[in-house]
């Protein structure tokens, strides 16, 4: 959820992601912050184009509130240097 909000903050002149994360976090409504703490991912909606790459669409996120594509966005995880990283 922070990715799209960080982009919005940067577009609005708040600076790069590294210096605006606090502002970005404050843009998330309290109910949605709480829902993210217990959100899960439906593995049936995740695609693995390669063994070291997972594509997670917004629709795969299951939470007590609904999140839009604009709020979360799709995510790509890649296994690099012995760990998983969000790469897109």
Whole-prediction pTM value?
0.67
Domain range list for the chain: 2-86
Structure tokens at 3: 């990715």
Contact (Cβ atoms closer than 8 angstroms) between residue 7 and residue 24: no
pLDDT digits (tens, 9 = 90+) for 28-76: 889 998 998 999 999 999 999 999 999 999 999 999 998 888 888 888 9
Residue 1 has pLDDT above 70, yes or no: no
């Amino acid at each position: 959820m922070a990715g799209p909000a960080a982009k919005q903050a940067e577009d609005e002149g708040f600076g790069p992601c590294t210096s605006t994360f606090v502002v970005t976090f404050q843009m998330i409504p309290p109910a949605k912050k709480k829902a993210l703490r217990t959100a899960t991912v439906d593995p049936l909606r995740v695609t693995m184009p390669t063994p070291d790459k997972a594509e997670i669409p917004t629709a795969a996120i299951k939470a007590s509130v609904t999140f839009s594509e604009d709020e979360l966005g799709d995510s790509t995880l890649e296994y690099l240097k012995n760990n998983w990283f969000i790469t897109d």
